[in-house]
Amino acid sequence: MAEIEFKSVAKSFGKVGVIADLDLKVDDGEFIVFVGPSGCGKSTALRMIAGLEETTSGDIQIRGRSIAGLAPSERNVAMVFQSYALYPHMTVAGNIGFPLKMAGRPAAEIAAQVREAADILDLGPYLDRRPAQLSGGQRQRVALGRAIVRHPDVFLFDEPLSNLDADLRVSMRGEIMRLRERIQATMIYVTHDQTEAMTMGDRIAVFAPLKDGHARNLMQVGTPEALYERPANLFVARFLGSPKMNLIEMDQGQAPAFGTLDLGPRPPHGGALLLGVRPEDIRIAEAGVPGLAGRIRLVEALGAEYYVHIETAAGELIVRVMDKRLRPAPGDTVALQPAAGAFHLFDKATGERIGG
Amino acid sequence: MKKPLLGGLRWLVFALAVVILNFPVIATLVTSLKSDAEIMTNASLIIEAPTLDNYVAVFAMADRFDILHFLGNSLVASLIGSVLAIAIAFPAAYAMARLEVGRSWLLPLAVNLRAVPLIIFAIPIYLMYQQVGLLDTRFGLALIFCLVNVPLVLVLFASSIADLPLEIEEAGRVDGAGTLRLLVYVVAPMSLNVVAASSVLAFIYSWNEFLFGLMLTTNNATPVSVGASFFFAASGGGVRWGVAAAVMILATLPPLVLGLLMYRQIGRSMTAGAVKG
């Protein structure tokens, strides 16, 4: 168990800055997810903890102790890679036992530990096989076994499920969560998949790429609910949620298209504003009812719900419809009513959230 | 595949190619099995009266020219020269490919040294060998073979190591292996196919080396590439083609056997199942 702290960490490869001004504290025993689009530095941050990359400036501490200059082996961290990264010439038992062998443990202890890890991961019957003889899911379980057998302070996961197909991804997600209950260790999980982030993390840290003009990577840290319900900026608002949040340009601080929209008390603001409304927070009513008038352009039927694309004076909006009785059809004219209080305001220039 | 005529034609073409490409070898083999009289009268590839007399004659000359001694010298020097070259080049190639040691200049330098005609090194090496007593020794010959082999083996390893999935080595580092143990436990086992390929090539180059074999040995360590030439005029009166052909066939066998033994290893992929392809 260990807490990890990034202190003003920056990292650049040559002249290209990848991480800037990263301050983040991961609590002891916490499961935190680093999420963001490709190139946002989330994997680099993870690799700096593992010792596979050095920081350019700033400091990373585990248990209050700087890990600068320590070899990966001296950090007591375990890492699970996206590509499994198994040793192809060793058996499953050899793979799982390798860290213990490197630590110079006696053979009998290694065998016992490997057996225990294999039991946890249902790998018992495969101990004598080579990685090439295993399925993708089994391979990733071997990689998990190799990580847990060492009882490390910190588990690092670098997109461990990205190479698996959809079914397997869901079941492996469950497997990692079960593992998490069994093993009390700090876990950092990197993914670009917002579903994994929302379902697995105690907290989520949203990263943005510096190359897109952001001054720092870390956009917001918090519980999944907090991030979804109160995104701190446009980047987080756009990144979390599927379909994406609707963003409507406001004129003179008003959203005239929505008619009688009560934005509630808010601090006076000079610049241009964007109004954000999540697709599930808009209700479709019959035409003629007060609200934003629109015409249905496209209906995506997903079985349990519909995504309805509607052309309005405020641009095209997406509405998520759960009510099965409603049968929206392309060409219908409708009125849109936002749920009371379910909107977000952002400064268009800075992207920051305004008000509560 | 479905049409027998096309299949037959294909095999005909293959057979023709094999015969044409290997004609010198086949001609030598055929000659070694003919009597001296038949060699003079029958130039065709069909042997009228096959005989092993030439092979018997080669071994009968052991008191003057001992073919087994030459073969033994070549075998020992070539094996040491190949193994040594691999032992030196493997860590060096890893340092170049992964640790960025002189990546931009060291490899081209080593490879270009190979392009220099070896005769340039002949005199200094002779003088050095004289000083340290390596002249006419198998080990001295092996050291030269190693020198000749290192550039090629280095290039093979540098490119193959660069092609290995980096994550496996990173996993090894996180799992607690330092560079040396990473090389022994992770990188080397994944490079066995290249070890096989380069050891065959290095062995063949060593086996065929002639210049230094001629220059640096007189009697004790004469390799078969040099020793074989002794048999051409062994009887004093003109070249004995049958005996010479038999010597050449005998000299060809060891690298041929090695190649066949290693062949299965060469084409194998050593990283199957390691990472998602």
Contact B273 A136 (CB under 8 A): no
Q: Does B271 touch chain A (CB under 8 A)?
A: yes
Kindly list the residues from chain B whose CB atom is less than 8 angstroms away from the CB atom of residue A79: 170-171, 174
Q: Are B45 and B156 within one domain?
A: no
pLDDT, position B37: 85
- Report how many domains make up chain B: 2
ipTM for this model: 0.85
| pLDDT given for residue B265 in this prediction | 74
Q: Per the structure block, which two tokens stand in for B57?
A: 């004659």
Q: Do B170 and A131 touch (CB under 8 A)?
A: no
Alpha helices by DSSP H, listed for chain A, are 42-50, 92-102, 107-120, 136-148, 166-182, 194-200, 224-229, 234-239
Closest-CA residue of B relative to A97 is B175
Q: What is the pLDDT of residue A285?
A: 84
| Domain identity same for B9 and B120 | no
DSSP track, B113-173: HHHS-THHHHHHHHHHHHHHT-TT-HHHHHHHHHHHHHHHHHHHHHHHHHHS-HHHHHHHH
pLDDT, tens digit (0-9, with 9 covering 90-100), for B99-150: 888 878 888 888 888 788 888 888 999 999 999 999 999 999 999 999 889 9
Q: Quick check: A79 contacting B, CB < 8 Å?
A: yes
A88 and B270 in contact by Cβ < 8 A?
A: yes
Same domain? For B37 and B87 the reply is no
Domain extent, residue B31, equals 4-51
Quick check: A102 and B173 CB within 8 A?
no
Domain over A4-237 is classified CATH 3.40.50.300: yes
Is the Cβ of A135 closer than 8 Å to some Cβ of chain B? no
| Chain B residues with beta carbon closer than 8 angstroms to that of A72 | 170, 173-174, 176
Classify residue B61 by burial, with Cβ atoms within 10 Å: 0-12, 13-18, 19+. middle
Where are the extended beta strands (E) located within A302-339?
306-312, 315-321, 333-338
Q: Does B168 touch chain A (CB under 8 A)?
A: yes
Are B153 and B89 a contacting pair, CB within 8 Å? yes
Interface contact B43, partner A, CB < 8 A: no
One domain, residues B122 and B223:
yes
Instruction: Indicate whether B195 and B104 sit together in one domain.
Output: yes
Whole-number pLDDT of residue B234: 65
Residue B276 domain-assigned? no
Q: Is residue B154 part of a domain?
A: yes
Query: Would residue B125 count as lying in a domain?
Result: yes
Q: Provide, as residue numbers in chain A, all residues whose Cβ is less than 8 Å from the Cβ of B165.
A: 83, 85
CATH of the domain at B185: 1.10.3720.10
Q: Does A70 touch chain B (CB under 8 A)?
A: no
A120: its two tokens: 């946890």
A276 SS3 class: strand
B180: contact with A, CB 8 A cutoff = no
pTM: 0.83
Q: Residue B276: CB partners within 8 Å, gap ≥ 6?
A: A82, A83, A84, A136, A163
Question: Is some CB atom of chain B closer than 8 A to the CB atom of A87?
Answer: yes
Which has more pLDDT, B264 or B254? B254
Edge-first strand order for the sheet with A218-222 is A77-80, A154-158, A186-191, A31-35, A203-207, A218-222
Beta bridge partners of A13: A16
Tens-place pLDDT, residues B171-186: 999 999 999 999 999 9
A102 interfacial to chain B (CB closer than 8 Å): yes
In this complex, do B270 and A89 lie within 8 Å of one another by their Cβ atoms? Answer: yes
Please list the residues that pair with A61 across neighbouring strands.
A5, A66
> Least CB-CB distance to A102: which of B181, B190, B272?
B181
The answer to whether the CB atoms of A79 and B276 lie below 8 A apart is no
pLDDT beneath 70, residues of chain A:
1, 251-270, 356
Does residue A234 contact residue A213 with C-beta atoms inside 8 Å? no
Indicate whether B58 belongs to any domain. no
Q: Does one domain contain both B229 and B158?
A: yes
**CA-based nearest distance B145→chain A, Å:** 31
Q: Tell me, yes or no, whether B166 lies in a domain.
A: yes
In 3D, which of B225, B77, B258, B83 has the Cα closest to residue B153? B83
Does B174 reach chain A within 8 Å, measured CB to CB? Answer: yes
Report the C-alpha gap between A81 and A59 in whole angstroms: 24
CA–CA gap between residue A15 and residue A145 (Å, rounded)? 38
Mean per-residue pLDDT over chain B, rounded: 88
A49 at B interface, C-beta within 8 A: no
Residues of A in contact with B274 (CB under 8 A): 84-88, 131
Same domain, yes or no: B254 and B155 = yes
CATH code, residues A245-347 = 2.40.50.140
Across the interface, of A86, A88, A103, the residue whose CB is closest to B176 is A103
Residue B277: pLDDT over 60 = no
Better-scored residue on pLDDT, B277 or B33: B33
Q: Which has the closest alpha carbon to B186: A129, A90, A147, A144? A: A90
Where do runs of H (alpha helix) occur along chain B? 4-21, 23-32, 36-41, 53-60, 67-98, 106-115, 119-132, 138-163, 166-174, 179-182, 188-190, 192-208, 211-216, 224-230, 241-266
Tell me, yes or no, if A168 comes closer than 8 A to chain B by beta carbon.
no
**Domain-located, residue B56:** no
How do residues B32-90 score in pLDDT, each as one tens digit? 999 888 888 888 888 888 899 989 988 988 888 889 999 999 999 999 999 999 999 99
The answer to whether the CB atoms of B274 and A72 lie below 8 A apart is no
Same domain, B12 and B107: no
Tell me, yes or no, whether B153 and B187 share the same domain. yes
pLDDT value, residue B81:
95
Whether residue A83 and residue B273 make contact (CB cut-off 8 A), yes or no, is no
CATH 2.40.50.140 residue ranges for chain A: 245-347
Whether residues B102 and B174 share a domain: the answer is: yes
> Does A82 reach chain B within 8 Å, measured CB to CB?
yes
Domain for residue B273, yes or no? no
- The verdict on B10 and B128 lying in the same domain is no
Q: Which of A99, A136, A163 sits opposite B175 (nearest CB)?
A: A99
% of chain B with per-residue pLDDT over 90: 52
CB contact under 8 A, B173 and A99: no
How many CB contacts within 8 angstroms connect chain A with chain B? 94
Say what the pLDDT of residue B185 is.
Answer: 95
Same structural domain, B47 and B107: no
CA distance A137 to A160: 10
Please report the pLDDT score of residue A253 as a whole number. Answer: 54
To test the contact with chain B by mutation, choose from A44, A48, A52 the residue with the greatest count of B C-beta atoms within 10 A, namely A52
Residue span(s) of chain A under CATH 3.40.50.300 come to 4-237
B271/A88 touch (CB, cutoff 8 Å), yes or no:
yes
Q: What is the mean pLDDT of residues B27-31?
A: 92
pLDDT at A288: 77
Please report the pLDDT score of residue B103 as a whole number.
75
Minimum distance, in Å, between the CA of residue B188 and any CA atom of chain A = 10
Q: Mark yes or no for CB contact B176/A78 under 8 Å.
A: no
